[in-house]
Structure formats: C-alpha cells, structure tokens
Amino acid sequence: MSVLLIAGSPSERSRTAALLEATGQRLETRGVQVQRLRVRDLNPQALLLADFGHPSVLAAQELVAQASVLVVATPVYKAAYSGILKVFLDLLPQIALKGKTVLPLATGGSPHHMLALDYALRPVLQSLGAKHILPGIYATDAQVVVTPEGGYQVDSEIGLRLDEAVDTLVVENLIQGLSNSGRFRSVPFSEVRCSV
C-alpha cells in the first residue's frame, strides 16, 4: 500500500499540516510507505493558469496516480475547503482517484464548519472517481494546539480518531490485496497484528 499525503493549506506551518503529519506518522509506524505533496510547493502560476503541462503539475499528477490511498488535508475557509486545494483538484484528470481510498482531514476555527468535509470536499473526491471515501476527521483549533516550542500537538480525542482511521486504511488495503490476487499476499511483519 502506498499512501500520498496531500497538504491543501497555503501556509507552510499550520494546524492542517500538523493533523496530516500526525496521520503520516501513524501510518509509518505501521510500516506503510508514505509520500508527501504540499500543494503550496507547486508552481503558483501553473496552478492559477491551469497549466496542465507544467512539470510541477505533471509530477504531482504522477504522485496521485501511483498512490493507492490518499489522505487529503485542508483548512476550512468560508465553509469550504481551501482555494489552493480546489485549484489542484481541478488540474487532476477526471478519473484521477479511480480505485483509490481517500481519507479527508480538515481543520477549522470552530465546530460550525465540520460539515464542509461532507458537503464541499466529499462530492469533489467522488466526482474524481474515488472508490472509497472514509469518514472525514475534523479538528478545531482547540484540538490541535500550539506547544510552547512552537510546534503543534493533536489532542487525545483526535489522536484516537486518527488511530482508528489508519487502522481502517491498513486493514482494508490488506483485504484488497487479498481479493485482487485471489490468494493471500505476503504480509510484512510490521503489519502483523495478533491477540493473546
């Protein structure tokens, strides 16, 4: 399973990036290969002018094509996902997410914008052909706090929800690997779970 973390925040350091990174760390702990794409690092002119042939856009499209799972994170502005993420999603081919599993993440100032995940972002992900969109995780500013050192810390409730989402991603992709081959595939030791 290869996972692409897509940061849809225009800021270099943000609560959204911290939430996405917490997800990435949980995946890596389970032995999952993770790649990162910060939309803000793509050529701004290519994004704004919808330059489908620009090398940075082509490279980003290739990262999306290679991933079996996408984790898409965005801040919520004016009850919708970020404009920079919208511009990027518009540059993807219409079936860019076909057969892929997507975990949407969002951050916002208050719980009032929680439904932006379901009413703004989910329809776009579905229109791009996502096979399965997991229930999104929304965190308020109070749930991703700034530490005294200037970093960010997700609270325990959000941490538990991230753990559950990552477990679902790992289990579903193990099952998918099984059903695609018609027989059991090799399972890395780091993915083995047993109970006594």
* 196 in a structural domain: no
What per-residue confidence (pLDDT) applies to 178?
46
The count of structural domains within the chain is 1
CATH, residue 94: 3.40.50.360
Domain that holds residue 35: 2-191
Residue numbers of the chain with a pLDDT score lower than 50: 178, 181-182, 196
Is 103 inside a domain boundary? yes
Residue of 73, 140, 146 whose CA lies nearest to 103: 73
pLDDT at 174: 62
pLDDT score for 166: 95
What is the predicted pLDDT for the residue at 140? Answer: 94
> 3-state SS string over the chain?
CEEEEEECCCCCCCHHHHHHHHHHHHHHHCCCEEEEEEHHHCCHHHHHCCCCCCHHHHHHHHHHHHCCEEEEEEEEECCEECHHHHHHHHCCCCCCCECCEEEEEEEECCHHHCCHHHHHHHHHHHHCCECEECCCEEEEHHHEEECCCCCEEECHHHHHHHHHHHHHHHHHHHHHHHHHHCCCCCCCHHHCCCCC
Query: Is there a domain that residue 173 lies in?
Result: yes
Nearest by Cα to 75 from 5, 150, 124, 18: 18
In a domain, 158, yes or no: yes
User: Is 165 a domain residue?
Assistant: yes
Q: Is residue 119 part of a domain?
A: yes
CA distance 7 to 191: 26
Q: What is the pTM of this model?
A: 0.86
CA distances to 64, 72, 98 from 69, in Å: 9, 10, 11
